[in-house]
Amino acid sequence: MYFNIGRIAYLQANVLSAYVFLAPAIVAGAVTLGVMQQIIRAFGRVEGSMQYLLKAWPTIIELASVYKRLREFEAKIKFVDENEEHAID
């Protein structure tokens, strides 16, 4: 649950991060509106690519847990098969 709260907070904070980084240039008047929009769009594309892992994290965790359960199930099947072979001998 804490990870999800942190993940959502991070995703929301990233919306404003481009403006925060550009604030000194905007205040100084060194950046025009058109250039600022281009920078923010480019920043958003890079940011979107990097956020893929955070957005896909619940699916990744679910697949990892399925994989772990299947490995445990296979180990138990092998254990039962080995015990049955020893019981027959």
pLDDT tens string for the chain (89 positions)? 677 787 778 777 777 888 888 889 888 888 888 998 898 888 888 887 777 877 788 898 899 999 999 999 999 998 887 777 766 65
Q: 67 and 88: one domain? A: yes
Counted domains in the chain = 2
Q: 60 and 37: one domain? A: no
Q: Which helix (H) or strand (E) holds 41?
A: helix 33-50
Q: 42 and 60: one domain? A: no
Could you give the count of Cα atoms lying within 13 Å of 13 in the half-sphere of its Cβ?
A: 7
Q: What is the total residue count of the chain?
A: 89
Q: 7 and 39: one domain? A: yes
